[in-house]
Amino acid sequence: MPAETSTQELIARRNRLLGPAYRLFYEQPVHVVRGEGVWLHDAAGNRYLDAYNNVACVGHCHPHVIEAIARQAAVLNTHTRYLHETILDYAERLLATFPAEIGQAMFTCTGSEANDLALRVARTCTGGTGVVVTRTAYHGVTGALAELSPSLGLPEPTAPHVRLVPAPQSAGDETGEIFASGVRAAFADMARSGIRPAALLVDTIFSSDGVFADPPGFLRPAVEATRAAGALFIADEVQPGFGRCGEGMWGFARHDVIPDMVTMGKPMGNGHPIAAMAARPELLKEFGARSRYFNTFGGNPVSAAAGMAVLDVIERESLIENARRTGTDLRTRLTALRAKHELIAEVRGAGLFIGVELRRGGAPAVAETAKLVNAMRRRGVLISAAGPGANVLKIRPPLTFGSEHTDLLVETLDQALQEI
């Protein structure tokens, strides 16, 4: 059967079986059958450079992670109402990557569940319900988080207890005061409506807002404003966490702030569904006194083994250092492309989390960005777009990305920019 026919058939079958809420990437969706390192292979035998998959952080199908999962799956997999060391060994190792104040971890299967749990803790401990998020935020799939995820395109305001603040500015707010004043105003508005504040929830690299990383430290005044309002600061590390930003393990650390709670997921098991919420023990003391927590699959021995293996690889292969070095090089080379292509307005990011904003005549180059993402896909390089106008190329390759991959990505982008 020709590859094209089978792709069309798969799309029809998917629509029929999964319904219309699912979306595929690219005008010509990619039918992947195999992954290896930074590469994905399709059914027709083509190879794609994966510069978008921040789940496979240590590379697709890393042998150390596979082996750890297989070994534990062959011995025991059960849940956390029995005693087992693996979850404790992993919790110890994971918590050692945080400031001492973040002393306990609770395990889930998805980033959404981790954020949902953080919300419950915040509401229990503050007695409030109000949450502040950014204007194009995404925090997850549950009912509570869909209200806090304006990027899903739901009507605004998303819920009475939610306030949206503008994303950080890429220039002109070096101290973070402008961002903080938005947060302050949001909490003040909440108070005027008789809503008690519970939390500021932000993705510390602002991925879906269009990637805002600099200057490090700009988040600090917003966190201070949050605490002054009696609310807690939840750092959503689902996207930037596990070394992607090239400086330490966590995006919040670049901002010199210590969150009240941290949520993580995506890259944590390199594709195995493991996620977590880490917190200050005094918050969990209060929450635990009032609630019980049990998550059937969260923190099972196979998941914990996967998480442990990912940490092994990040350490052994010096992937945080690689994210810093390769990411800096990639950003420098993308910035150099600006001289040739006036569509490139700005290159932002930290480590291997990069946003390239495209503008035409000062306005967001919305159509051009979509064309470019598809032109890249046709040339075998997978990226996507983010931001309120979807005019920011989002580039997040596995942390094993090397200089030869940077060359390929930059050359392909150069060609694709000429093509459109």
Binding residues (CB under 6 A) for ligand PMP: these are 110-112, 115, 138-141, 203, 207, 236, 238-239, 265-266, 275
Q: Minimal distance in Å, beta carbon 69 to ligand PMP?
A: 18
Q: Minimal distance in Å, beta carbon 208 to ligand PMP?
A: 7
**How many other CB atoms are found less than 10 A from the CB of residue 93?**
15
Q: How many CA atoms lie within 13 A of 87 on its CB side?
A: 23
Closer to ligand PMP at the Cβ: 43 or 55? 55
Please report where in the chains the tokens 């798969």 appear, as a residue: 10
Closer to ligand PMP at the Cβ: 54 or 406? 54
Closer to ligand PMP at the Cβ: 110 or 126? 110
Closer to ligand PMP at the Cβ: 105 or 195? 105
Q: Minimal distance in Å, beta carbon 112 to ligand PMP?
A: 3
- Determine the straight-line distance between the first and last CA of the chain, rounded to whole angstroms: 32
Q: How far is Cα 199 from Cα 130, in angstroms, rounded to an integer? A: 7
Closer to ligand PMP at the Cβ: 207 or 326? 207
Q: Minimal distance in Å, beta carbon 407 to ligand PMP?
A: 28
Please report where in the chains the tokens 């510069």 appear, as a residue: 51
Q: Minimal distance in Å, beta carbon 336 to ligand PMP?
A: 29
Provide the total of helices (H) and of strands (E) in the chain, helices listed first. Answer: 12, 16
Please report where in the chains the tokens 């090239």 appear, as a residue: 246
* Segment (H or E) for 334: helix 319-337
From the list 125, 147, 122, 127, the residue with the least C-alpha distance to 137 is 147
Q: Minimal distance in Å, beta carbon 275 to ligand PMP?
A: 6
Q: Is the peptide bond before 2 cis (omega within 30 degrees of 0)?
A: no
Q: How far is Cα 260 from Cα 119, in angstroms, rounded to an integer? A: 11
Q: How many CA atoms lie within 13 A of 103 on its CB side?
A: 8
Q: Minimal distance in Å, beta carbon 386 to ligand PMP?
A: 10
Closer to ligand PMP at the Cβ: 263 or 400? 263
Q: Is 149 left (phi over 0), alpha (psi -120 to 50) or beta?
A: beta
Closer to ligand PMP at the Cβ: 218 or 353? 353
Q: Minimal distance in Å, beta carbon 17 to ligand PMP?
A: 21
Closer to ligand PMP at the Cβ: 80 or 239? 239
Note whether 358 and 368 are within 8 A (CB).
yes
Closer to ligand PMP at the Cβ: 240 or 416? 240
Closer to ligand PMP at the Cβ: 129 or 134? 134
Q: Minimal distance in Å, beta carbon 303 to ligand PMP?
A: 13
Q: How far is Cα 35 from Cα 195, in angstroms, rounded to an integer? A: 48
Q: Which residues, including other chains, have CB under 8 Å from residue 31's CB and lie 6 or more apart?
A: 3, 6, 7, 10, 42, 43, 44
Q: Which residue is nearest to ligand PMP (CB)?
A: 111
In this structure, what token pair is assigned to residue 244? 């992607």
In this structure, what token pair is assigned to residue 364? 């967001």
Q: Minimal distance in Å, beta carbon 137 to ligand PMP?
A: 8
Going along 183-341, which residue ranges are E strands? 197-203, 232-236, 261-264, 275-279
